Structures are given as structure tokens and as C-alpha cells.
Structure 1
């Protein structure tokens, strides 16, 4: 259900909205408040494992948070997505920033985990929107394919599967295989 407004919502109107029933998370897309897909168990477990991996790798270098909205621009309009995981370095967001608000600058990394009902194609489009908004890296996690596709602003995307080692220049020393992530999260084979 889209939160309907007579007119298009401005960024400030969107940010001032009261929480939805049942703590629904909304994203601002083309002036409309669009509900974000509610995460399921496997999604939550993958979020936890990836969050811990990134957190260990960036300790003291930035903030890593689940479900933190970020104010960006998409096709010339205000856009407020809520990535599953967001990492922002202290180079982009000063350590003394201490507001209970949406992230005010493009993060270094966003991770989106495909939920049931979402498609890889839609996530590719969203990844492009993130990159166009100056996000440095986007990881799209696909439970069905047991893959992580990494999107870069200046190179073709790369998909990692199985025992391929995933490293990222954003995180010195971070090395893992996609299969390690899925095993640690205890995600069964053939997820629907």
C-alpha cells in the first residue's frame, strides 16, 4: 500500500511523517511514501551475518547500520531509500555528527538483500540509482542464486558465488566467500 498524498510529498514532509502502523518502514520515491518489504527470517539472518562482517572490518573507521534511511537524489528528485545495511566512513560523515535523522550524505556502501516478491532486475535498477547518487558501492544479495553482485561506479558489476573470494577495496583485509555467508546464516539450499 502506498501512503497516498494529494500532492507529491516534499523531502521535509516525508521526514516529518509519523511512523506507519506496525512500524512500517517507508521509502520516498517520486514524491510518494512507498512501504518497504517487511524482512523475513532468512533475510534477517543474512543481514546479521553481513552486518557483523562489515562491522569487524571497519571498526573505528565509520558507522555500519541496518535499516538506516539516507537522503539522496534520484533523477533530480529527493529520494529516501532504506537499505538493508548502510556503511558510511567518517570521511563522509564526521565522527561528531550526532543527529537522530536519516543519513544526510551518500554512504560508502549499501547492501540490499532481495526479498520474496522482489526481482534481481529491480535491484539492478536500484543499484544504478544508488551509484548515480554518489554511493561508492552497492552489494545485492540474492538468496535464490546464493550470490552477491557488487556494483561499482566506474566498472562493470561482478557477481560472486560459491567459493569465489569476495574482497572490496573499501574494507582493507575483508575476505570471505559467498558460501561462507550463506552457511553462517544457515540459509538452506533452494530458497524460494
Structure 2
């Protein structure tokens, strides 16, 4: 009689309940049931986050727009399921019906991720795929170490790359651009 040992071939699947059960102060994201822990962002990361979110919010306010800017930590339930939960650095949501006190239920219109040393794989690969398939209209990857802003316009199926000396046009608005040369992150 042959005995066949069953190898474990599937990983444990986590849910949003596991995210909510994390110890106080610990943050993580959930993509397709897998937990990815978040490190504390650097000072440069935070300065860039504040500057970009302020420029976007000021534009929306001046133009009396109905979109809302939210910065991390802010819950985004991408697929309205219990195995996907992300906290993008910046989320712009133009459909107020997606918002409640817990966060955004569905895909934001525009997401910006600021790359940290520990988030490169997530930002450039896992989140790129997840955001593109979830219905995000536009995704920016801002990488200050590489002096690069990568803009994915999923609606137009286009990809553009810029430097921190460039003006970058936001695809979800006709007349809004961010001049990265004006951003002081030092």
C-alpha cells in the first residue's frame, strides 16, 4: 500500500475581519486574501503626500468640484468583497455614493501611490494590476528615489512617464496639472 502525503498547495485566505483584528497602530492591506503589512512612511514620503493632496484639494475647491480627496490611512474596499482592502496614499473619489464613514466602496477615480523602499513590488506590480482591473480610471506611481512619475490612464489605455522637473496633467480633469518642479520635498 502506497501512502501519498498531501502537500499543502494553498495559502491561508484572510478577510477584512483579519485586518480589523490587527493590533492597535498596525496597518496592512489585503489583496486577494493575502495580507501585506505597511511600514511607517518616511518624512520625505509624508511631505510629498501632503503637497500633492493639497494641490489636488485646492483645485477641486477652487472649481467647486464634487470629487473628494482622501489620504492614507483611508480604507478602500476595491471590489466590495471581503478579501480586498487597500489604503492608497491618495484617493480621489468623484461618486459620493461610494463613500461612507468606513471609507470608499468601489474603485476611486484616481489613485496616487508614493513609492517607499518596501512598497516597490506592491506599487509597480500588485496594485497596478489590482487597480487596473477594479475600475480605477487613473493611477500615478510617484517614485522620488528614481525621479519618476508614472501615469497609467486606464480609460485611454495609455502610459506616460515624467520627471520631477515636469508638469503632469491629471487625466480625470480637463485643465489640471501638477508642476512637480514646484514641489519641495527636501
Alignment-derived partner of residue 55 in structure 1? 57
Contact residue 146 and residue 179 of structure 1 kept, 8 A: no
Q: Please give the residue correspondences for 1:97-176 in structure 2 after superposition, counting only pairs within 5 Å.
A: 99-119=100-120, 122-125=122-125, 126-153=127-154, 154-176=156-178
8 Å CA contact retained: 2:110, 2:138: yes
Q: Which runs of 5+ in 1 are unaligned?
A: 1-5, 188-192
Q: Distance in 2 between matches of 1:173 and 1:51?
A: 17
1:172-191 correspondence runs (5 A): 172-181=174-183, 183=184, 186-187=185-186
1:33 & 1:118 partners in 2: Cα distance? Answer: 13
CA separation in 1, counterparts of 2:107 and 2:99?
16
> Which structure's CA Rg is the greater one?
2
Question: Which residue in 1 is equivalent to 2:41?
Answer: 39
Normalised TM-score (structure 1): 0.77
Deviation at 1:7, TM superposition (A): 4.9
Residue by residue, what CA displacement relative to the aligned partner does 1:28-53 show, whole Å, maximum 9, x if unpaired? 12323321122110000000000001
Deviation at 1:174, TM superposition (A): 1.8
CA RMSD of aligned residues (A): 2.5
- TM-score normalised by structure 2 residue count: 0.79
- Unaligned ranges ≥5, structure 2: 1-10
Check if 1:82 corresponds to 2:84: no
SS in structure 1 opposite 2:54? Answer: helix
